[in-house]
Amino acid sequence: MTDEKQPTLSESTFRTELAALIGRARAGDVDVKGGWECRDIDADSDYDVVITEVRSNQPSRPIGEVGEE
């Protein structure tokens, strides 16, 4: 880790990067489901992130693509 500030993200970019992170973790056999504690070091805040697998009858979309329902 470095002390350099990371660029800010839009909501769309956040969703895309989160989906890519989950995809890479699953490819590495990480069970991503459940609760994860994480700290935003820059803001000195703690977060509890919960990941739940959701099954859908909709055709699959590429990772990170958000469509209107």
Per residue in 9-44, pLDDT (tens digit) is: 899 999 999 999 999 999 999 999 999 999 987 788
Tell me the pLDDT tens digit for each residue of 44-62. Answer: 889 999 999 888 777 766 6
Cα angle value 18/13/10 (rounded, 5°): 125
Span of 3-7, 10-14, 49-53, 64-68 with lowest mean pLDDT: 64-68
CA angle 7, 8, 14 (to 5 degrees): 115
Record the pTM: 0.65
Can you tell me the distance from the alpha carbon of 66 to that of 58, in angstroms, rounded to the nearest whole number? Answer: 12
* Contact status, residue 48 vs residue 34, Cβ threshold 8 Å: no
Distance between CA atoms of residues 13 and 40, nearest Å: 18
